[in-house]
Amino acid sequence: MTSEFTIGLHVLGFLTARGGEPLTSEVLARTYGTSPVVLRRVLSKLRQAGLVATRRGVGGGSVLGRPSSEISLLDVYVALTDEPELLPRHPGENTGPAQVLAAYINGIYAEAEAALLERLATVSIEQMDSEVRPEICAALEASRLVSVARA
């Protein structure tokens, strides 16, 4: 699920921008452009990692599980990535020359992946939000205008 990471960042960024007000999966799904069920699948993993808290029923929805300054992009990554391997590992059989080559390449890829994870650890949701909030707002404004024009 390569898009789940993006969806997770969208959710946490959006919740940050709303400052404590619970948002329904329906709203989050609409702003991202997917279905509520797909979004809840992501929310489910975020909840298990403690990154969001959810309440059902009328007036329910999701809020941040802890301050956005204390959530790194790495936290989101590990919460949403089942196997800790994003890069194209080569499964392969456990014998034969192909496996030897694959192991060699995987070593190089693992280095690159480690560097990526370190980088993700240095950025918090709060930072990300402050950097992209203006553009997000502009985009939301644009799509809202389209809706108005259609109505």
Q: Where on the chain is the footprint of DNA (CB under 7 A)?
A: 1-4, 23-26, 34-38, 40-41, 43-44, 47, 54-62
Burial of 4 (0-12, 13-18, 19+ CB in 10 A): buried
Residues 63/71, Cβ–Cβ less than 8 Å? no
By the 10 Å C-beta count (0-12 exposed, 13-18 middle, 19+ buried), 141 is classed as exposed
Output the smallest distance, CB 26 to DNA, in A: 5
- Tell me whether residue 20 or residue 33 sits nearer to a second copy (CB atom): 33
Query: Least distance in Å: CB of 57 to a second copy?
Result: 27
Q: Among residues 37, 28, 61, which one has the least CA distance to residue 140?
A: 28
Q: For residue 53, what are the β-bridge partners?
A: 63
Q: Which does 24 bind (CB under 5 to 8 A by kind): DNA, a second copy, none?
A: DNA
Note the residues at the interface with a second copy (CB under 8 A).
Answer: 2-3, 5-6, 9-10, 13, 31-33, 73, 86-88, 90, 93, 95-102, 104-105, 108-109, 111-113, 115-116, 119-120, 123, 128, 131-132, 135-136, 139-140, 142-143
Q: Which does 59 bind (CB under 5 to 8 A by kind): DNA, a second copy, none?
A: DNA
* Residue closer to a second copy (CB basis): 35 or 115: 115
Write out the H or E segment, with its range, that includes residue 64: strand 61-64
